[in-house]
Amino acid sequence: MRNLPPLPDTSRARVLVVGDVMLDRYWFGDVSRISPEAPVPVVKVERSEERPGGAANVARNAAALAAHTVLLSVVGQDEPAQALGRLLESEGVVASLQTDPDLATTVKLRVIGRQQQLLRIDFETWPNHESLQATLVEFRSRLPNVDVVVLSDYGKGGLTHVAEMIRLAREANKPVLVDPKGDDYSKYRGATLLTPNRSELRQVVGKWRDDADLAARAQKLRTELALDALLVTRSEEGMTLFRDEGSVHEGTRAREVYDVSGAGDTVIATLAVMLAAGAPMADAMRWANHAAGIVVGKLGTATVTLDEIKIPD
């Protein structure tokens, strides 16, 4: 494969994913007229699909790369939670989902007509303290049996104890990768690696003038947060890894960009699996970039299989 490092044995990788899960629902239909009630298209729904989203999509991406994957999260006592459980089981993820009877499992419903997303409707509430505490207890017990921890923050309240989880993981000498959310990264202090995208990083460090300015701002943030590394995903510009010894850049590998939703999940999942399998961080980034180039050519939250990433690009 062009410019790609050797692929490690991912079947021995053990990944623990914690964070906000959601159910992605898709309604596909035909659009042939405008509503007489309002200037909006009328979609005649012809089929529907359900896929795990959020941290659940990270977990299924790790499992698709043959890693033993455990997912910890909180869901409601409702039909979407049951659907999530079935989907995750079918994709080889060991899902331990704490049930909060007062919580509505997060659902993102997308209406798609003529292969374009026309509308998204979100249903969500925040989990309670008891269910979050139970997740933290289980997190502590799972740590000895994993190689890498992924904390997938979608800002839905599932990672209220993120600072404590990072502390516990580092004390156990487990690398901890974080997909961050919001403009306050202080809660992620001490993590091994953060994976903000371009716009997320801009919220935190401000707008940069050029690559040199980006490097200065990224390294300053990395030092302030005591991170081993900062990986900035930059859409059509590829991704850049910042570490003590400098930076490494990988240009985009996308053949055709169809849908970028969930691409960040694929990136952090691939990173985690490769690191858990023993790959150096720079090599893991190159595999993650390759996987991202494949997944953006698919509709919606999707995975990249081990067979797919073995195909030369």
Strand 116-123 with 107-113, pairing: antiparallel
Helix (H) or strand (E) holding 105: none
- Tell me phi and psi for residue 177, to 5 degrees: -105, 135
Question: 10 Å Cβ neighbour count for 85?
Answer: 16
CA distance 194 to 115: 33
Closest by Cα among 85, 56, 86, 90 to 71: 56
Query: Is 259 an annotated catalytic residue?
Result: no
**Partner residues linked to 123 by β-bridges:** 107
- Token representation of residue 77: 């006592």
User: What are φ and ψ of residue 60, in 5° steps?
Assistant: -70, -30
Tokens standing for 30? Answer: 């035909």
Question: What is d(CA 149, CA 271) in angstroms, rounded to the nearest whole number?
Answer: 11
Contacts 24+ apart (CB under 8 A), 178-185: 178/150, 178/151, 178/153, 179/19, 179/58, 179/150, 179/151, 179/152, 179/153, 179/264, 179/265, 179/268, 180/153, 181/153, 181/154, 181/155, 182/153, 182/155, 185/221, 185/225
- Whole-angstrom distance, CA of residue 287 vs CA of residue 158: 28
From the list 147, 153, 179, 265, the catalytic residue is: 265
Residues 185, 194 contacting (CB under 8 angstroms): yes
DSSP class of 59: H
Closest CA to 294 of 249, 260, 248: 260
- Which residues are annotated as catalytic? 265
